[in-house]
Structure 1
């Protein structure tokens, strides 16, 4: 079921509620994507595996997909995007869910853990880093080639040029630990473009206010069962970002998916789903 969720005056988010295919589904599972990415960037194969155990909800962030594109008129901050995730749960009348966050989505889930712990049955974070904190160890920056490409984000490109740029972006994000299939990610981006109805690059999330992320010291108080998945070939959050995040959370589990980078290609779908489901089924409560 697809619907629109009103999260603020004049701001609507596209969301999709995917029913479980299993006989005894546990509590719902909410997927929170990274910066500039719509909900349809979650691979269908991954959703099918998760839906064997959970009702799955995914959605488009502001300025992505079919959600309101309004940053130029109404600027917002990253904390607003965290509130949006809670609003999506409210709209679907989900009191508590397992929540999975990738990249920026992982930062949003950390904010949810701090501000709305009662809404999370469990949390899974991957391809992300810890919220900032004073005294944190110095961690590696993103790969220089990736930083150069990010500098081209809002360069003018025609539709075909934009698709080529996005595929190259995924090639760098994928890393060298698993095979990269350009056709797989071109098909993904063609689906993203068809869903959104436009080819322009999403630049709003690169420009939004990121204040409110300096709360890493509070993560030690988190009691919600949390899993951190390390992607050892991630060029955006390279090791030891995941280890630092797990230690900062205090009680988090850390698992490693060999070869994984900052992309969900077909070779990592099964181990990623298995890791998420191990976390959610360990804390499973039947759906109401």
Structure 2
């Protein structure tokens, strides 16, 4: 089921739900400048076997409102969007899964709205105050990615834009699992058709990053949290995941061998199994203590 949900004045988010609405909700929070369609269908379907799965387009991506030029916002506002969306859907508490910038947003939810979360899973991300959103001694993105990002947002025709996006995914994928250009070209063809434009989203790269230096507050988190390490991640390489898991008082650390900063078919099965196992254990414990 698809719908558009208002989250701010003049801003609506495209939302899709899948699975039995009577099951515990699970919210998928995608990364920067990425439509919710980037979540692989096999992962969404796998999680929908035990959850009411909600995925959505951030503002300025996909079918959600694009208005950054007229109404700029901060990255932290995207976490508020997620809470307002849960409100609009009548969801009191959800499992939250965040990838990349989505992992940053889930960390903000762990601090600002822990009562809205049953559990959290973060992957391919860095701790608040580190990585792209901070300053630390941890390693930064690969130089070839930083150079490639300089061409983000340039005007291209559809085929050239598809070529740019596929090459971007190749760089993000890393070298741990095979990269299939046809798989990611088909993904981006679906994303462009869904968005209705080949224009590449860039708003989140321009958004205000203030208010994200809150890593020390993660020590107080008590929501059951799974940190998934992507050992071949060229944006947040090891030891970002162990560092984040060490900051969160309730965290468990797990690894998907070979995973980079992309979700090719080769990693979807192991990742789905990790997330589903984590959320099932939390749901079972909640049932036990009732």
TM range (shorter): over 0.9
Structure-to-structure mapping, 1:161-180, within 5 angstroms: 161-180=160-179
- 1: CA distance between counterparts of 2:52 and 2:13? 19
Q: Which of 58, 81, 85 pairs up with 1:84?
A: 81
Residues 69-108 of structure 1: CA deviation (Å, up to 9, x unaligned): 0000000111110001111111110100000000000000
Secondary structure in structure 2 of the residue aligned to 1:212: coil
| Number of the residue aligned with 1:101 | 98
Q: Which of 91, 112, 117 pairs up with 1:120?
A: 117
- 1: CA distance between counterparts of 2:112 and 2:15? 22
Residues 136-189 of structure 1: CA deviation (Å, up to 9, x unaligned): 851001001111111110222111100000000000000000000000000000
Is the aligned partner of 1:272 residue 2:275?
A: no
- 1: CA distance between counterparts of 2:248 and 2:256? 20
| Number of the residue aligned with 1:15 | 15
Point out the structure with the larger helix share.
Answer: 2
Deviation at residue 17 of structure 1 after TM alignment: 1.2
Residues 2-45 of structure 1: CA deviation (Å, up to 9, x unaligned): 11111111011100111239xxx641100000000011111101
Q: Identify unmatched segments of 5+ residues in structure 1.
A: none
Structure-to-structure mapping, 1:179-194, within 5 angstroms: 179-194=178-193
Normalising by structure 1, what TM-score?
Answer: 0.95
| Number of the residue aligned with 1:147 | 146
- 1: CA distance between counterparts of 2:200 and 2:75? 19
- 2: CA distance between counterparts of 1:132 and 1:230? 18
Q: Which of 31, 49, 64 pairs up with 1:67?
A: 64
| Number of the residue aligned with 2:35 | 38
- Count of paired positions: 282
Normalising by structure 2, what TM-score?
Answer: 0.95
Is the contact between residue 19 and residue 49 of structure 2 (CA under 8 Å) also seen in structure 1?
no
Residues 213-266 of structure 1: CA deviation (Å, up to 9, x unaligned): 011110000000000000000001000000100001132000011100000000
Secondary structure in structure 2 of the residue aligned to 1:239: coil
- 2: CA distance between counterparts of 1:26 and 1:122? 15
Secondary structure in structure 2 of the residue aligned to 1:267: helix
Secondary structure in structure 1 of the residue aligned to 2:199: coil
- 1: CA distance between counterparts of 2:20 and 2:37? 18
Runs of 4+ in structure 1 displaced over 3 angstroms? none
